[in-house]
Amino acid sequence: MASLDEHLEAALAKVEQAGRRRVLRPATLAPRGRIVRGGKTLLDFSSNDYLGLATHPLLTERAREWAARHGSGSGASRLVTGTSPDVLALEARIAAFKGTEAALVFASGWQANAAALPALLAMLPGAAVFCDRLNHASMHAGLASAGTRQHRFRHNDLAHLEELLATRGAEAPARVIVTESVFSMDGDLVDLPRLAALARAHDAVLYLDEAHATGVLGPRGAGLSATVPGGVDVIMGTFSKALGGFGAYIAGSRALIDWLVNAASGFVFSTALPPAVLGAIDAALDLVPGMSAERAHLSTLADRLRAGLDRLGLDHGGSASQIVPAVIGGEGETLALAAALEERDFLAAAIRPPTVPPGTSRLRLALRAAHSPDDIDALLEAIAACR
């Protein structure tokens, strides 16, 4: 009988043979759009710290203050011992920021999607669920654990969604549409006014992941959901990207949040977020609404990057945000380009299958407000030289 480690080595060897073995490399986020990795300071186009808040002194100071006041851990899940008044106040702030009745904090974006979707579907037995093909893995995980079959529509193809709603949704007792406002690997946006109208016309619940929109898009950085009259039924977002911290939220009606408190297992059975993390979120909420100059700067940088990629003949898909893919195609070619860029002190991580469809391996370029136009030009020059 082979030991567990022998099984594991054999499984890893298969991944290695397929050229897909991943390894963890030590790296530390640095200010000014940099990252320290392999002993070198690299110009970083791969982190999701869009607004530069992950190293902002107000966040680190508030995290320290809250930890000094309340300790390093929260002790239990919120339903068991009761909940900190600080987290209730924070949730009220998140709801006000998002323009919803209520909000609930989760331990991570992954956990929010993996916990909220099954909770929602437990209340809508037999619902037909419609998902964008490129939805994040955490939504697939949530739907898989709910045991729900997904009707997947072509990426951002709302005509296809409409067709599926009519053919697969009409007989179902309920319909749920699950999608993102900014797609994490493509940087394109959903047409939210049209999607919301479609949801209304087909009496469907709309579940929107705003992980990459929160802090960056919409009025005061409140995300795209804030631009839709009447709002979106269920909004998920993270504090781990533009908000420079960790954790996530679901925002919506009071009834939705009360239901999640009762039925979302990833909330019910998980320890409350620790004070330092909550403190950093609180400080980010002080700053984000006023960061419109940073948001405008990101948008200008993204235009500059896309124009430069056009000049190099590189496809950036439908990018319309701070995430700009440079689609290369083959896995080997993309990995080689990322490695050559790292030699020149740029971090531009290669993203390949299964994260993106085969043949569309890419450099996923994520802009940070600390980048300058010169940084973009230097990256473009380096890409040109390495190819």
Specify whether 155 is catalytic: no
321 binds ligand PMP (CB under 6 A): no
CA 216 from chain centre, in angstroms, equals 12
Minimal distance, residue 251 CB to ligand PMP, in Å: 15
DSSP reduced 3-state for 357: coil
Residue 84 or 240: the one with the smaller Cβ distance to ligand PMP is 240
368 binds ligand PMP (CB under 6 A): no
- DSSP assignments along 3-19, one per residue: -HHHHHHHHHHHHHHTT
- How many residues touch ligand PMP under the rule CB under 6 A: the total is 13
Specify whether 241 is catalytic: yes
Minimal distance, residue 110 CB to ligand PMP, in Å: 4
Binding pattern to ligand PMP, positions 247-286, x when CB under 6 A? -x--------------------------------------
Among 46, 74, 238, 319, binds ligand PMP (CB under 6 A): 238
CA-based nearest residue to 249, from 266, 235, 262: 235
Query: Which residue among 151, 241, 297, 371 is the active-site one?
Result: 241
231 binds ligand PMP (CB under 6 A): no
84 binds ligand PMP (CB under 6 A): no
186 binds ligand PMP (CB under 6 A): no
* Coarse DSSP helix, strand, coil percentages of the chain, rounded to the nearest 5 percent: 45, 20, 35
CA distance 327 to 313: 10
205 binds ligand PMP (CB under 6 A): no
Between the CA of residue 14 and those of 7, 71, 297, what are the distances in Å? Answer: 11, 45, 44
CA distance 78 to 261: 9
Minimal distance, residue 203 CB to ligand PMP, in Å: 26
Among 33, 52, 109, 187, binds ligand PMP (CB under 6 A): 109
Long-range contacts of 381-384 (CB under 8 A, 24+ apart): 382/341, 382/344, 382/346, 383/312, 383/314, 383/326, 383/337, 383/341, 383/348, 384/312
Specify whether 136 is catalytic: yes
CA distance 341 to 326: 13
Backbone angles phi, psi at 206, to 5 degrees: -110, 125
Backbone angles phi, psi at 58, to 5 degrees: -65, -35
Q: Which residue is nearest to ligand PMP (CB)?
A: 109
Minimal distance, residue 109 CB to ligand PMP, in Å: 2
Which residues are CB-neighbours of 10 under 8 A, at least 6 positions away? 2
Query: Which residue among 202, 212, 297, 316 is the active-site one?
Result: 212
46 binds ligand PMP (CB under 6 A): no
Specify whether 48 is catalytic: yes
Minimal distance, residue 139 CB to ligand PMP, in Å: 7
Specify whether 135 is catalytic: no
Residue 238 or 322: the one with the smaller Cβ distance to ligand PMP is 238
97 binds ligand PMP (CB under 6 A): no
Residue 108 or 360: the one with the smaller Cβ distance to ligand PMP is 108
Beta strand extents in the chain (DSSP E only)? 27-30, 34-37, 40-44, 102-106, 128-132, 150-153, 175-180, 204-209, 234-238, 248-252, 323-329, 346-347, 350-351, 361-366
184 binds ligand PMP (CB under 6 A): yes
Among 45, 66, 110, 207, binds ligand PMP (CB under 6 A): 110
Minimal distance, residue 247 CB to ligand PMP, in Å: 7
Dihedral in degrees, nearest 10, Cα atoms 266, 254, 119, 238: -50
For 322, which DSSP code? Answer: S
Please report, as residue ranges, which positions from 133 to 172 form the binding site for ligand PMP (by CB under 6 A): 136, 138
Catalytic residues: 48, 136, 180, 184, 209, 212, 241
- Residues forming contacts to ligand PMP in the complex (CB under 6 A) are 108-110, 113, 136, 138, 180, 184, 209, 211, 238, 240, 248
